[in-house]
Amino acid sequence: MDKSTISRRNSLKLFALTGTTLLTMPGYIFSSKKQNSILRFGIITDSHYADREPAGSRFYRDSIPKMQEAIDSLNTQNLDFIIHLGDFKDEDTGAQPGDTLAYLDKVEAVFQKFKGPKYHALGNHDVDSITKQQFLNHIANNGQEKAESYYAFTANGMRFIVLDANYDADGTSHFFANGSDWENANIPEKELNWLEDQLESWPIPTVVFCHHPLYEFYKEEAKFHVTNYAEVQKLLESHGQVVACFHGHVHTEDYQEFNGIQYITQLGMVDYEGVENNAFSIVEITSTHIKIEGYKRASDHTIMI
């Protein structure tokens, strides 16, 4: 069978296995050990940590105790991994690269206390007064000797693809100290080609992570979505195995479905004062549903698939 002909629903049915049944695919073997259970992972987004005074609803300093609470809680769960969906840190009003890197190092030290695989997606505030490469040099993603801005990994029989939309249309990396337009986020041609190769090479159920929404999203007249989102959607649909896409960026919960793919956007951690206003989630994906268990401000939500 040609890899691209495997449908999303047929791919999911592969996971309705029990006991220690093994299923072999090209170059990959996985086992389903729990009846009707695929995996569980933690999601955090938009922590925006910086040592600066609050601005609007954003309490930047509170993201350290919020992150510590989240990691402590997630460490008590049986999770396959956790991922931060971007805007991991922020900058202060001085916007000095040395200070910004210190904020990044401080929040990364807390994030790395999770006792399992850990991953990052890049947000627009991660490339403000520091470059993309500086950010990547100060974080760690599981299994990568050197962190990449877009990459893929497997966990418990599923494929996960992490995209980076912090580019101009011509593929120039965003760096806002040099005047990049945060509203003009793109998945450039080189990354699209890489994405297509990933989908062709791994015809198993797949989840995509991207800081910026991969569907049209305006908020208070500002544009938050990936500029070429329609091109990305078409590519994701063409291979049939993509189950869902998760996003941050908008600091709002939102749930959409387009042509059988779920597009899920999560609350930001930084908003509102104190750990009592924390927000993070656990996601469980089975052959029948996506279940989101929200903590504190984050809501519970179940989507049948």
The pLDDT tens digits along the chain (305 residues) read 333 333 444 455 444 433 323 333 333 323 334 445 689 999 999 999 999 999 999 999 999 999 999 999 999 999 999 999 999 999 999 999 999 999 999 999 999 999 999 999 999 999 999 999 999 999 999 999 999 999 999 999 999 999 999 999 999 999 999 999 999 999 999 999 999 999 999 999 999 999 999 999 999 999 999 999 999 999 999 999 999 999 999 999 999 999 999 999 999 999 999 999 999 999 999 999 999 999 999 999 999 98
**For residues 235-253, b (16+ Cβ closer than 10 Å) or e, as one string?**
bbeebbbbbbbbbbbbbeb
Domain ranges across the chain: 3-304
CATH superfamily of 3-304: Metallo-dependent phosphatases (3.60.21.10)
3-state SS class at 223: strand
pTM listed for this prediction:
0.90
Cβ contact 103:91 at 8 Å? yes
Side-chain-facing half-sphere of 169: CA atoms under 13 Å: 6
What do you get for the CA distance between the two ends of the chain, in Å?
Answer: 24
pLDDT of residue 38: 82
pLDDT at 248: 98
Cα gap 176→22, rounded to integer Å = 48
pLDDT, position 100: 98
Taking a C-beta distance cutoff of 8 angstroms, is the pair 193, 175 a contact?
no
- C-alpha span between 117 and 272 (Å, rounded): 28
